[in-house]
Chain A
């Protein structure tokens, strides 16, 4: 079985540019969450989506946005990149049962470097 698939694996962008990161969840998982992991720190929650709706949002600026598609895959978009956006961006997929999220399986992440 395929796990959580994220693309690209590495990315280098210039300050001010825009970036789109992609995630495909485990088959049967309808919820996708995004986390930012700065080097040397624990992951921080950015967004959670299921049934194509935003269900949770962390303390991130409006430059960060996301969406979920009918096939449950997801995109994370970051506009006007700052040096501080350099991080590992993790996607996690989860089952949804009775409206509640169960379990997180993380992908290997996208390493974003902003120069």
Chain B
């Protein structure tokens, strides 16, 4: 019940395309859903995060859509650029003193020039 399932495993789009990465969860105690971007040799960096009281959040070219009833959330990258090529991870955590992150398995995105 602690898992976060992420798809697809890999994604290739042309520059300007809109890649969409999906995640699903089972634990209804999760109340914080961040997305991380990771480049080779670096740690994950927070991109954008959402709480379940909203259905959508935009920050620049990144948008999270959240469907609480389906227990699903997704990341959309508008006007994707070659510099967006990286591995993207969804994650979830529940309130509490530790607030540990449970990560998805990652999506390797390639944006072709």
Contacts and interface: CB of A to CB of B under 8 A. Distances in A.
Q: Is the interface of B mostly helix, strand, loop or mixed?
A: loop
Interface of B: 4, 6, 34, 36, 41-46, 89, 91, 95-106
Given A40-B106, A43-B44, 8 more contacts: A41-B105, A42-B91, A42-B104, A45-B101, A56-B100, A99-B97, A103-B46, A104-B46
Contact of A106 (B43, B97, B99): B43
Question: Which bracket fits the contact residues of A?
Answer: 20 to 34
Nearest to B99: A101
Q: Is the interface of A mostly helix, strand, loop or mixed?
A: strand
A103 B98 CA distance: 11
A106 B45 CA distance: 7
Interface of A: 4, 33, 35, 40-45, 48, 55-56, 58, 90, 92, 99-101, 103-109
Given A55-B97, A99-B97, A104-B46, A43 B41 contact: no
